[in-house]
Amino acid sequence: MKAYKDMDKNELLALKEELSGAYEAVKRKGLSLNMARGKPSDEQLDLSMGLLDVVNSGMKVVAADGIDCRNYGEMDGIYEAKKLLADMVGLPPENMIVCGSSSLSIMYDTVSHAYALGVNGNTPWCKQEKVKFLCPVPGYDRHFAITESFGIEMINIPLYQDGPDMKLVKEYVETDPAVKGIWCVPKYSNPTGCTYSDEVVRAFAALKPAAPDFRIFWDNAYAIHDLYDNGGDQLLNIMDECKKAGNENLAFVFCSTSKVTFAGGGIAGIASSPENAEWFRKTLAIRTIGYDKINQLRHALHFGGIEGMKKRMAEHAAIIRPKFEAVYECFDRELAGLEIGTWTKPNGGYFISFDALEGCAKNIVAKCKEAGMVTTGAGATFPYKKDPKDQNIRIAPTFPSLQDIKTAAELFALCVKLCSVEKLLEE
């Protein structure tokens, strides 16, 4: 294929006419497709229906150590659930606090507690002149929404294939006491699918923050979400590295089973150092008298341990892997060699990141919508929804059927080509 940038004006005009005709033909089909959010499909959710049968009215709803799961108390969660989540992220159970069903809620609570009450005895963020957060981009829009809601200034940090630009991270963290945190999705990052290298993890652990209340918000959402059975990407343990570096309090680790069992009915947790955990417990005790221990128990009984959970994840992978590969196949066939876009091919997680020509993302998303397909909004993967280059689009292949994914990928590729030709003709 000839690269679009190498075409003369007449070639581009002829191509635009051809692509416009194909686009109008697709519009007449009246499609209704949605690739906007990374939701599990019905087929994936069906895998965990047995979760509803492991606890019933004829049994004693009691944890292994005799705790009655129907009653108040046990703020940390029952031991079985703590171990299950701790094993997901490679930490000891005593480091884990099991909360409700959403890790996003825990992250919100952690920022809220820091903002209103202060971290480990430090001045509350709301009483400090300026609070800033580092945001690797492209990144997770809901992370950015949390910090934006508190009026915290967000700073873009480039995200590479091996993780964030650590030279820039180090410069901000170690020289500016207003920098209080950084958002991280360290394995199969949302949306690029990259996994932080050992060097990057060690660089995080070795940071010497100017602010004593700086924390790494380590959202290990895709810790066991491998697409292939080759062992997946390997992520160094941030808590182990922080301890080695004498920075035991530096990181909060978040995880959940939201994309393991039921997206709206899983269990979620936060893990950190003993000092950080004690701070979180104190603030948590004001918020609740205990989370749903019955749900914690049934997750523990359903899986029987981390091996049962890993087996379930292999079943998930068998469902969603063909959807990812259908997107790759289409993009390789329709877009490779045209030099109008690049895309990631992650080994796990829930997303594909697409970078169009500069200034094209909003137009691509708009054309997709006009033709009957909803995608994640252009700019959503950046703080304040402002992509400075207007080029990144997050693709979420998991929820639609395989046939719909194939149709959606074809439409997306067509819109990329048409918008790229229009952009080049403008120039």
Domain borders along the chain are 4-44+310-426, 61-304
**What is the C-alpha separation between 132 and 151, in angstroms, rounded?**
9
Helix (H, G, I), strand (E, B) or coil at 25: helix
Q: Give Cβ neighbours of residue 38 (< 8 Å, ≥ 6 apart).
A: 190, 259, 350, 351, 396, 398, 399
pLDDT at 427: 87
- Residue 375 β-bridge partners: 35
Token pair listed for 278: 């004690």
Q: Give Cβ neighbours of residue 211 (< 8 Å, ≥ 6 apart).
A: 176, 177, 178, 179, 180
Give the residue-averaged pLDDT of 26-44.
Answer: 93
Q: What is the pLDDT of residues 9-22, one digit of tens each?
A: 999 999 999 999 99
Could you name the CATH architecture of 4-44+310-426? Alpha-Beta Complex (3.90)
Q: What is the pLDDT of residues 73-107, one digit of tens each?
A: 999 999 999 999 999 999 999 999 999 999 999 99
Beta-sheet pairing, 96-98 with 215-219: unpaired
Q: What is the pLDDT of residues 328-349, one digit of tens each?
A: 999 999 999 999 999 999 999 9
The CATH number of domain 61-304, selected from 3.40.50.880, 3.30.365.10, 3.40.640.10, 3.40.50.720? 3.40.640.10
Q: Do domains 4-44+310-426 and 61-304 have the same CATH topology?
A: no
The pTM (predicted TM-score) of the whole model is: 0.96
